Structure 1
Amino acid sequence: MHTQKRTILLATALLSAAWLSGCGTKEKLTPQQQGNTPTAPALSPQGQNKPSLEMKVEVNRDKATITFHTENFHLSPEHYSGMHVPGEGHIHLFVDGSPSRISVKENVYVLQSLSKGKHKIEATLHTNNHQPYDVKDELEFEIK
């Protein structure tokens, strides 16, 4: 019985850790976690075209409207944190090298109240269950 309790406690701890490691609106990451190396073999099935990502930005005063264009990839807010489905997921957006990420689930995202000066954004594609696709785009712009 003692071994069974220990097994249940260990299983509960592992499930809790897995649940807590999902993506949120803004999350802290260590530099090692920001890598874009796929960690799930399901990310590159044979015969499937690799997803691509391109950002465009439109600046208006202290706002930057970012438009994300993807190919072979579908943003799926309805499946966010769900099971992996090849070719769908969400975007992680990093602003000015911050370790905090913004989870983007739509094709347009607006950054507001930006300070004057140059800014750099980086976006990476991720699966529904938060695994990286090894696809990213970077862009620089200026708030005048």
Structure 2
Amino acid sequence: MKRHTLILSTAALAAGLLTGCEEQQITPTEQPAAPSQAETPASVDLSAKPTLKMDVDVAGTTATVRFETTSFKLSPEHYSGAHIPGEGHIHLFVDGSPSRIGVKEHTHELTGLAKGKHTLEASLHTNNHQAYNVQDQIEFEIK
């Protein structure tokens, strides 16, 4: 009986970890548990939908990815913290991998990439990892 309980507990924990970050999506008009306007970054226009655009520079086996956002502030100081409207971070996926990279700055370097074509997918997320439903995708080649 104890073994079945352990297996079920482990399975439930694994399912929670796999789905935890992608369960809910929000839009700028559906902000969960919004703090006061005073806590919103002054440089962010909450009336506009955030945007995300990636650009990649390749040098050898390294790709330097630059992220441009509008109506959105990258906030490494609040990563995994409480939701603040208009700020958060980027989830970056390389070549369709289910593992994500949490990007907190406007530039991220990928090193040691294999030769060939690569695809990057990125999406904006709140500080507490809810999706803003804003994505971008780009392809590049390591020669």
Asked whether the equivalents of residues 57 and 65 of structure 2 are also in contact (C-alpha less than 8 Å), the reply is yes
Q: Distance in 1 between matches of 2:76 and 2:96?
A: 25
Q: Distance in 1 between matches of 2:80 and 2:22?
A: 18
Q: Distance in 1 between matches of 2:122 and 2:73?
A: 15
User: 1:91 aligns to what?
Assistant: 90
Q: How many residues align?
A: 116
User: What is the CA distance between 1:48 and its match in structure 2?
Assistant: 1.8
User: 2:5 aligns to what?
Assistant: none
User: 1:143 aligns to what?
Assistant: 142
User: 1:38 aligns to what?
Assistant: 26
Q: Distance in 1 between matches of 2:22 and 2:139?
A: 19
Which 4+ stretches in 1 moved above 4 angstroms? 33-36
The TM-score normalised by the length of structure 1 is 0.72
The TM-score normalised by the length of structure 2 is 0.72
Quote the RMSD (CA, aligned, Å).
2.7
Q: Distance in 1 between matches of 2:59 and 2:24?
A: 31
Q: Does 1:77 align with 2:76?
A: yes
User: 1:26 aligns to what?
Assistant: none
The unaligned stretches of length 5 or more in structure 2 are 1-12, 35-45
Identical-residue share of aligned pairs (%): 57
